[in-house]
Amino acid sequence: MKSAFNDIIYEKRGIYGVLHVIILLLSLFLIVVISVDTFKNIPFMTQGSYLKIQFWICMFFIADFVLEFFLSKRKLYYLQTHFIFLIVSIPYLNIISYYGIEFSPEITYFLRFIPLARSGYALAIVVGWLSSNKASGLFVSYLTMLLATVYFSSLIFFVIEHKVNPQVTGYDDALWWAFMDVTTVGSNIYAVTPTGRILSVLLAALGMMMFPIFTVYVTSLVQNANKRKNELYNEDNTPQPEAAKQTASKPAEGGKITS
C-alpha cells in the first residue's frame, strides 16, 4: 500500500495525486467536525471558526477545479463533465451567513454536506489508482460511498427527528434506522418529518441500486477463481514436450523393429 501510495504521489499522477489526496484529507476533517458538532449539539452557524474552516476548504476545492481545468487538454469536455464539482465547492453557508439569509434548520444543516460531494470523486480516483483490478477498485469506491451516505443520512435523521420523534432517543437509533433502510429490510423506527421520510425513500432506493453491484462483484470473483483453477488443472494435465517425444519414440512392448 505504501509503495502504491508513493507511486501515486510522486511518479504516475504527480500534481493530480497530491490534490486528490489533500481533498480526501480535508473532507475527512470536515466529517469529523460535523460529527462532533452534531453529537454535542453545537450551533455551528454561530461558530466563526467553523465557517472560516469550511470557507477555505471550499476555496481549495475551487482552486483545484481551476487548476485541473487549465491543465486539461480538452477544456470544454472537462468543463462539461466536471462542472458539477465546481457547483458543490461553493461555500453556501458562508454566503447565507454573510447576507443574513434564513433557512430552516434542516436545510442549513444539509448544506454542510454539499462540499463533501467533491470528495466522492477524489475517492473514486484514488481507490482506482491503488487497485490493480478495476472491478475491485470500483467495488471499493461504491462500498465506501455507500457507507458514507448511510452515515451522513443517519446524522441528518438524528438532527431532524430526535426532538420530535419519540422512537429516536439517541444517535444509535438513527444509525440503526439508516442501516435497516439501506438494506431494504426496513426498520421499526418510522420517520415523522418530511425530510426523514424523503431520506427513508432515498436510502431504500440506494440500497436496491448498490447491493446488486455487490452480488455481481462476488460472482465475478468466483468466476475468476474457477477460471484460474481450470487453467492450473489443464497445465498440470498437459504432457510436457520432452515426455511426449520420448513416449512416441519408445517401441511398443513385445514389438519388433524392422529395417
Say yes or no: 101 and 139 in one domain. no
pLDDT of residue 66: 92
Highest mean pLDDT among 117-121, 125-129, 159-163: 159-163
Say yes or no: 164 and 178 in one domain. yes
pLDDT of residue 257: 46
Write the Ramachandran bin of 170: left for phi over 0, alpha for psi from -120 to 50, otherwise beta.
beta
Residue-wise pLDDT tens digits, 67-89: 989 988 899 999 999 999 999 99
Give just the sign of the alpha carbon dihedral 160, 165, 167, 169. positive
Say yes or no: 37 and 121 in one domain. yes
pLDDT of residue 129: 66
Cell of 74: 480538452
In a domain, 257, yes or no: no
Give just the sign of the alpha carbon dihedral 73, 76, 82, 85. positive
In a domain, 103, yes or no: yes
Instruction: Count how many domains the chain has.
Output: 2
Lowest mean pLDDT among 35-39, 194-198, 235-239: 235-239
Mean of all residue pLDDT scores within the chain: 80
Q: 48-71 and 92-99 helices cross at what angle (nearest 10)?
A: 130
In a domain, 147, yes or no: yes
In a domain, 148, yes or no: yes
In a domain, 78, yes or no: yes
162 pLDDT above the threshold of 80: yes
